[in-house]
Homo-oligomer: A and B are copies of this chain.
Amino acid sequence: MTAFRVCLAQINPILGDFSGNTKMIADAVQESARNGAQLIAFPEMALTGYPIEDLATDPDFLATTRRELEGLASRLETAGLGDRIVVVGFPAGPFPADRRPPASPTAIAENRAAVLQHGRVVGEYTKHHLPNYAVFDEFRNFVPGDDPVVLQAGPLSVGLMICEDLWRPAGPLDHLSGCDLVLVINASPYATGKVQDRLELIRSRVHEVGAPIAYVNLVGGQDDLVFDGASMFVDATGEVQSRASSFQTELLFVDVPTGQQASDRHPAARVVTVDLPAAPATPCDRRMAPSPSPLEETWMALVTGLRDYVKKNGFPGVVLGLSGGIDSSLVASLAVDALGPDRVWGVLMPSRYSSDHSLDDAHDLVTRLGIHSRTEPITDLVPPFEHQLHLDGVAAENLQARLRGVILMAISNSEGQLVLTTGNKSELAVGYSTIYGDAVGGFNPIKDVVKTLVWDLCRWRNARATETGQTPPIPEHVIVKPPSAELRPDQTDQDSLPPYTELDDIIHRYVELREGPDDIIAAGHSLKTVSRIIALIDRAEWKRRQAAPGTRITELAFGRDRRIPITNRRPHAR
Contacts and interface: CB of A to CB of B under 8 A. Distances in A.
A174 interface: no
Interface in A523-574: 542, 545-549, 560, 562-571
A562 B54 contact: yes
A280 interface: no
Nearest to A169: B102
Contacts of A546: 546-548
A239 interface: no
Given A413-B395, A566-B313, A571 B18 contact: yes
Contacts of A19: 571
A53 interface: yes
Interface in A105-142: 105-107, 129-134, 137-140
Contact of A398 (B132, B313, B409, B442): B409
Contacts of A60: 514-518
Interface residues of A, number: 95
A229 to B, nearest CB: 18
B15 A565 contact: yes
Contacts of A102: 129, 168, 170
A233 B49 CA distance: 49
Contacts of A564: 53-55
Interface string A8-26: 0000001111111000000
Contacts of A435: 409
Nearest to A61: B570
Contact of A54 (B103, B380, B516, B563): B563
**Which residue, of A19, A548, A565, has the highest number of chain B Cβ atoms within 10 A?**
A565
Interface string A214-228: 000000011100000
A14 B568 CA distance: 8
A51 B410 CA distance: 39
Contacts of A223: 565-567
Interface in A292-315: 308-309, 312-313
A410 B395 contact: yes
A476 interface: no
A407 interface: yes
A516 B59 contact: yes
B132 A570 contact: no
Interface stretch (A71-79, A336-344, A386-394): A386-394
A313 B565 CA distance: 11
A525 to B, nearest CB: 15
Given A399-B406, A410-B398, A571-B18, A103 B139 contact: yes
A391 B406 contact: no
A140 B561 CA distance: 11
Contacts of A55: 564-565, 568, 570
A457 interface: no
A440 interface: yes
A390 to B, nearest CB: 8
A136 to B, nearest CB: 9
Contact of A104 (B133, B409, B413, B442): B133
Contact of A569 (B15, B54, B107, B567): B15
B410 A16 contact: no
Contacts of A389: 376, 407, 410-411, 414
Listed from nearest, the 9 A-B pairs whose CB atoms lie closest are A60-B516, A16-B570, A395-B413, A17-B569, A103-B132, A53-B563, A16-B569, A395-B414, A54-B563
11 contacts: A15-B569, A16-B571, A19-B571, A49-B565, A58-B516, A59-B514, A103-B138, A137-B140, A137-B563, A222-B567, A390-B414
Given A16-B570, A58-B514, 14 more contacts: A14-B567, A15-B569, A57-B514, A60-B516, A102-B129, A221-B567, A223-B567, A312-B569, A385-B410, A389-B410, A391-B414, A406-B406, A409-B436, A549-B566
